[in-house]
Amino acid sequence: MKKLLIALVIIAAVVFGGLKFNANKVEEKYNEALNLIKANGMEVKNSVFESGLLKSHANYDVVLSKGYIDEIISLGEDYKPSEDLTIKIDMNISHGFDSLLGKFELAGDAEFLNDPYKNFIKEIFDTTRPIKFHADGASGGDKKFVFELVGVQKEQDGNKLNLAKSFLNFDINGEKKITGVSLANDFIDFTSKEDIAIKIKNIDYDVKYETPIEPKMISKALVNSNYKFELGGIDVISGAELLQIGKITSDSKLTVLSDTLTQDDTSTIEKIKYGKYEFKDFLIKTKFSNLDKGAFEDVINAKGEPEAQLTAIMQALDKLIKRAPKLTFENLNFKNAAGKSYISNFEISIDPDGIDSQNLLENIPTAINFSGKIELDTTPGAFIFGSGEEKDGVDAMLVNGGLFIENGGKYVTIFKYNKRTQDLIFNENLSLKSIFQ
């Protein structure tokens, strides 16, 4: 028994010695984190670290200069920040027995210390500490940071806003680079004094970076990425009228080459209903290709007065067009309430040859390539209205007029844009302009 007690004492000494060592390592990592903040262009003041055996406490002030804020947000001269922003970070760091395995956990909040930001934040959130955060992971490995933004319940001038808590998650690798970001919010409810109500539920957004990015580049980086978006639904109510949009999902992949971008997207919409009209089971597959990478970088980095930013945007548009971008809808399909199908595909591209950069927007109609096909299970009028005079009127114009042709029980139209006449030609012989003459 005596030997056992001696062994237990030795083990305890080793464990608690290890905890003390890890407490010291936590302070070392804390100072490394402050240095990283400084390296990203911010100032750190009033740092206090109180070390404990199982838990440590720390707080410090982060100062974001007016110039730094303007560089990140780039809202133009009219919206430049008038003051530096100071935020106090307060946290507790747990480094108990798990720390022997290199793990850690921390939790804290962020407080806005100075006006005009302090008053602005308090007016919206009823607190100067609207952000809580939690992090865990391995001290030298992958980490997960979760930021919680408090909810909002406000009523002003007859307008009401009810916003659920929002959660922003960051996945960080051992090199302190971001590998993924996600955003979640359960609901947003807004009611105006004009009796218009908007209800949005279950917002989820997630992006994974195939090439991890520096934190300061999160709003600017163009790297290979995979995006997922999901929205539970939207209701818009105006008096007795109701617009309902069902669940929306989207899966996207951004591919970045040396000088071009390509984005592939597959989206679904459960339903869209307004009054007696309802359409459902939307499937939308798109591909953006030949997008000029430099054009997007120019827009992202545009600064200065609105006129200067507009000039940068127009120059970026010129770059974009000269790259001959293309948008392909592989599928744009949906059904009506009766289950009848609308199936379509089309392609839009721009031929940059002969476009004068000095008259860019005026020249676009003569440079567009646009073609596609629409196929319906029933007549256009029946697809939209079911029956009645409205159905008969639409069919008289679109079917009897030759825009849609019956083919094996389907109603089909094939169309192509004529750049020379700037007209849309259906079924190789019917001009859109002639229909409305």
pLDDT band of 52, cuts 50, 70, 90 = confident
Q: What percentage of the chain exceeds 90 in pLDDT?
A: 46
Which helix (H) or strand (E) segment is 397 a member of? helix 389-398
Summarize pLDDT for 54-65 with one digit per residue, the tens.
788 888 888 888
Range 322-351 burial, b when 16+ CB lie within 10 A, else e:
bbbbbbbbeebbbbbeeeeebbebbeebbe
Q: How confident is the model at residue 14 (pLDDT cuts 50, 70, 90)?
A: very low
What confidence score (pLDDT) does residue 4 get?
34
Q: Which two tokens stand for residue 90?
A: 């307060």
- Count the neighbouring beta carbons within 10 Å of the beta carbon of residue 200: 19
CB 243 within 8 A of CB 236: yes
Query: If you average pLDDT over residues 303-316, what whole number do you get?
Result: 81
Q: CA–CA separation, 229 vs 327, rounded Å?
A: 20
* pLDDT value for 1: 37
| Model confidence band, residue 12 (pLDDT cutoffs 50, 70, 90) | very low
**Any idea which residue has 């849309």 for tokens?**
424
At residue 174, does pLDDT exceed 80? yes
**277: its two tokens:** 């009209």
**What is the pLDDT, as a whole number, of residue 313?**
87
Confidence of residue 283 (pLDDT cuts 50, 70, 90): very high
Quick: pLDDT tens for 220-270.
789 999 999 999 999 999 988 999 999 999 999 999 998 999 999 999 999
Return the sign of the alpha-carbon dihedral for residues 421, 423, 428, 432: negative
Higher pLDDT, 35 or 223: 223
Helices vs strands, H then E, count in the chain = 9, 23
Report the DSSP beta bridge partners of residue 241.
Answer: 238
* Residue 256: both structure tokens together: 């970045």
H-helix segments, 113-270: 117-125
The CA-based angle 164-168-170, given to 5 degrees, is 165
Reduced to 3 states (helix: H, G, I; strand: E, B; else coil), residue 117 is helix
DSSP assignment of 22-84: HHHHHHHHHHHHHHHHHHTT-EEEEEEEE--SSEEEEEEEEEE-HHHHHHHH---GGG--SS-
Q: Which two tokens stand for residue 20?
A: 């003390």
More confident call, 437 vs 275:
275
Residues 221 and 363: their CA atoms lie apart, in Å, by 32
Q: What residues does each domain of the chain span?
A: 1-150, 154-253
pLDDT at 21: 36
Rounded to whole angstroms, the maximal C-alpha distance in the chain is: 107
Burial (CB count within 10 angstroms: exposed 0-12, middle 13-18, buried 19+), residue 271: middle
The residue type at 234: I
Q: Distance between CA atoms of 53 and 18, rounded to whole angstroms?
A: 10
In whole numbers, what is the pLDDT of the chain averaged over residues?
A: 85
List the structure tokens of 235: 């209701």
Strand partners, 161: 154, 190
CA separation for the pair 96, 359 (Å, rounded):
67
Please give the helix or strand (H or E) that residue 186 lies within, else none: strand 178-191
